[in-house]
Amino acid sequence: MTHDTQDALLAGYRRFREGHWAEARAEYEALAAQGQKPHTLIVACSDSRADPALIFDAAPGELFVVRNVANLVPPYQPDGQLHGVSAALEFGVKVLGVSRIVVMGHAYCGGVNAMLKGAPDSCRDFVAPWVAQAGPVVRMVCESFPAEESERLAEETVVRLSIENLRTFPWIAEREAAGQLTLSGLHFGIADGVLRALQGPGRFAPLD
């Protein structure tokens, strides 16, 4: 951590303690005593410009957020290996009992760009194989569209693919079929701040 970054983080922490935490102290104390009960699990990108808690103006304890490169959900694969996203899904659905899962993509996503153009040479250990799981689908969808449309189309395709993969988890599919869990997709425009929702097969439209 650089000195400048450390100072920025400490300054932010002090603002949090003096402002937000002081105002919401009773909420935090109740959450500590009673545990969390978030209503929504959000799968979002790790991108620093697309923070779900800020975008949804969420209070403490409302959202269970899973962030990774390009907001990807891999298919259900209980093989005993290390699966961070799947572990978070299992905990959120089975233990916390969320009633909604949202996959939120965003504009100017570096992970999606890597699916289209290849991962940086310096990121071959983990980023390249991670984005490769969606690369073929994304490139196939975008190949017949002009370049100026391909970026957002690719971002939307990843949201749809992640939702499809969510349904490969039997305990998600069962709860969705029983009306106990809803799945939805969103796309956040960084430059304009607009959220667009997946409505029907493949169509994203701005929310009111």
Contact 196, 189 (CB under 8 A): yes
Of the candidates 99, 104, 94, the residue with the CA atom closest to the CA atom of residue 73: 104
56 contacts: CB under 8 Å, gap ≥ 6: 62, 63
Beta-strand runs (E) in 10-84? 40-45, 63-68
pLDDT higher than 90, residue 147: no
Q: Check residue 3 and give its pLDDT.
A: 63
Q: Check residue 144 and give its pLDDT.
A: 81
Ramachandran sector of residue 193 (left: φ over 0; alpha: ψ -120 to 50; beta: rest):
left
φ, ψ dihedrals at 46, nearest 5°: -75, -5
Q: Check residue 200 and give its pLDDT.
A: 79
Q: Check residue 148 and give its pLDDT.
A: 79
Of the candidates 102, 100, 77, 98, the residue with the CA atom closest to the CA atom of residue 87: 77
Mean pLDDT taken over the chain:
95
CA 82 to chain CA centroid, nearest Å: 19
Of the candidates 93, 94, 132, 126, the residue with the CA atom closest to the CA atom of residue 112: 132
pLDDT band at 60 (very low <50, low <70, confident <90, very high): very high
Task: Record the tokens describing residue 168, joined without a space.
Answer: 């490969």
Judged by DSSP in three states, 203 sits in coil
CA distances from 41 to 117, 127, 157, 184, 185 (A): 30, 24, 20, 11, 12
**Is pTM beyond 0.85 here?**
yes
